[in-house]
Structure 1
Amino acid sequence: MEKTLNVQGMSCGHCKMSVEGALNELEGVSAAEVNLEAGKVGVTFDESKVNVDAMKEAVEDQGYDVSA
């Protein structure tokens, strides 16, 4: 399954690595791709192992605001 998260506060390569790294650490996430210009993160995941709330929490733990 794929989901796009809107993430505020990402502005650089470090932000991109932090967000992608946090999402890729979650069991069930197979891919996370940040688009800094658009402020979006595309996530491919197995919905039987991880949910959107867990992904939002992982990104928010890195210090960014998420709106689904």
Structure 2
Amino acid sequence: MKQKFAIEGLSCEHCVARVEKAVSELPGVQKVKVHLKKKNGVVKFDETQTSTESIIETVKETGYEASLLK
């Protein structure tokens, strides 16, 4: 599954790397790409191993706000 998330609070490439690293460590996550200028991220993951809620919670744990984009 591929899902897009809005991510608020990103201000630099360090922020991007921090979010990408944290989300990539979740089980079943295959690819993470966060866009600083667009303030969003795309995550490709196996929905049998992790959920959109887990991804959002992980982003919040790194200090940023996240929500699902349709």
Q: TM-score range by the shorter chain?
A: over 0.9
Q: CA deviation at 1:66?
A: 0.8
* Secondary structure of the structure 2 residue equivalent to 1:21: helix
Gapped regions of structure 1 (runs ≥ 5): none
Counterpart residue number, 2:48:
48
Counterpart residue number, 1:39:
39
* Structure 1 segments (4+ residues) deviating >2 Å: none
Residue correspondences, number: 68
TM norm structure 2: 0.94
Inter-partner Cα distance in structure 2 for 1:14 and 1:51: 25
Counterpart residue number, 1:13:
13
Identity, % of aligned positions: 35
Residue identity opposite 2:41 in structure 1: V
TM norm structure 1: 0.97
